[in-house]
Structure 1
């Protein structure tokens, strides 16, 4: 569980996050949604320590991130898996080498143990027989699977995903969403997904927070979202014709 308590973040005189409080639960897919420039990316980066917050607190399972010394923060970061927007794979490394990279960096496991863990992750994301391929030799969807396998290689407690469906076609996006949801439940991770993809919201949105101009305006589940009484959220959701039709059919 990650608890966000009255978090503010400013860059110079410009306040980006304006008193956000929420709880991201373990074993659930927690989604942060909002328009571009709403502050959701700043919040995600603040959660993992890439931005120092101006005030407030961020607690990982009752541990204040702000109170941790440098060695404790390093240990905590080993419990964090990251799935970046562009996959961020190393072009010069094979699929297996990309997945093994965190294991080589942060563990003292034997060669056999690291190979076994990498292959477990490869099989878990259904990339059998792709060990020796390079990123340029596989599709965008397969690259996302490699990135997911790398993110879970250290068996993290917390998984952060920044626009995981960016650049993918709708069918592949659904596959990636379902995979993230499955491994979240399977490993009991606290998963936080930064997205503006309403298909992801309606597919795997177990806990959703909507940020507008740096403030949390709404929180709920995918089952609640069509009954919301919030103009800004309604404008965000029903910007597409498809979701207008869904709303009309559910009304």
Structure 2
């Protein structure tokens, strides 16, 4: 579990996050949503240590990440997996070598064990047959799946995903959502996803944090969204006619 307590972040005289309090549950897909410029990316960067908050706490299973020593933070980061918006694969390495990279850096496994572990993760994302290909030979969706395999190869306790469906078509986005949701439960991870994709929100949003102009505006589940009365959240989630029709239909049924 990750808990944020009274988190503030400012850049010079500009306040970006204001008194954020939230809990991200273990074994669930936790989504952070909000309009561009709302502060959700800044929040994730504070969670993983790419930025330091102006004040507040970031607790990993009651361990305060902010006050840890440099060595403690290095050890803590070994418990984290990260999926970047661009997949961020190494073009000069094969798919297998990309997935093995964290093992090469941080594990004590021998070469044969590292290969086996990387192949297990590639098999989990249905890309074992692509292990000798290079990233440039793969589609965007396949690259994201390689990034997922690389992110889980060290068996992380915490998985962070920055816009994992960015640039993908709806069908491929659904595949990525299902993978992330399934892997979260399999590994009992605390998964946190920044997303603009409202289809993802309604498909896998077990715990959703909505940030508006740097403030925590709402938190709940995808089921709670259908009955919420927060106008700002409704403007974001139900911007499309499809979602508005779904909500209207469910309200008519008394759900």
* TM-score between both structures, scaled by the size of structure 1: 0.99
For residues 31-84 of structure 1, what are the alpha-carbon distances to aligned partners after superposition, in whole Å with 9 as ceiling and x for unaligned?
000000000000000000000000110000010011211111000000000000
SS of 1:224's partner is helix
Counterparts of 1:17 and 1:201 in 2: how far apart (Å)? Answer: 22
Q: Which runs of 4+ in 1 moved over 3 A?
A: none
SS of 1:31's partner is strand
Matched, 1:156 2:152: no
Residue 42 of structure 1 is matched in structure 2 by 42
Residue 198 of structure 2 is matched in structure 1 by 198
Residue 171 of structure 1 is matched in structure 2 by 171
Matched, 1:54 2:54: yes
Alignment of 1:87-166 (within 5 A): 87-166=87-166
SS of 2:174's partner is helix
Matched, 1:82 2:82: yes
Residue 12 of structure 1 is matched in structure 2 by 12
Residue 230 of structure 1 is matched in structure 2 by 230
Q: Kindly report the root-mean-square deviation, in angstroms, between the aligned alpha carbons of the 2 structures.
A: 0.6
Counterparts of 1:57 and 1:4 in 2: how far apart (Å)? Answer: 6
Counterparts of 1:70 and 1:128 in 2: how far apart (Å)? Answer: 37
Counterparts of 1:211 and 1:240 in 2: how far apart (Å)? Answer: 19
Cα displacement (A) at 1:108: 2.2
Counterparts of 1:114 and 1:100 in 2: how far apart (Å)? Answer: 6
Counterparts of 1:151 and 1:17 in 2: how far apart (Å)? Answer: 27
Residue 189 of structure 1 is matched in structure 2 by 189
For residues 173-198 of structure 1, what are the alpha-carbon distances to aligned partners after superposition, in whole Å with 9 as ceiling and x for unaligned?
00100000000000000000000110
SS of 1:182's partner is helix
Counterparts of 2:108 and 2:187 in 1: how far apart (Å)? Answer: 22
Cα displacement (A) at 1:246: 1.0
Matched, 1:26 2:26: yes
Counterparts of 2:138 and 2:234 in 1: how far apart (Å)? Answer: 38
SS of 2:236's partner is helix
Counterparts of 1:21 and 1:235 in 2: how far apart (Å)? Answer: 23
Unmatched segments (≥5 aa) in structure 1: none
SS of 1:76's partner is helix
Counterparts of 1:8 and 1:132 in 2: how far apart (Å)? Answer: 45
* TM-score between both structures, scaled by the size of structure 2: 0.97
Instruction: Count how many residue pairs are aligned between Structure 1 and Structure 2.
Output: 251
Cα displacement (A) at 1:234: 1.0
SS of 1:129's partner is helix
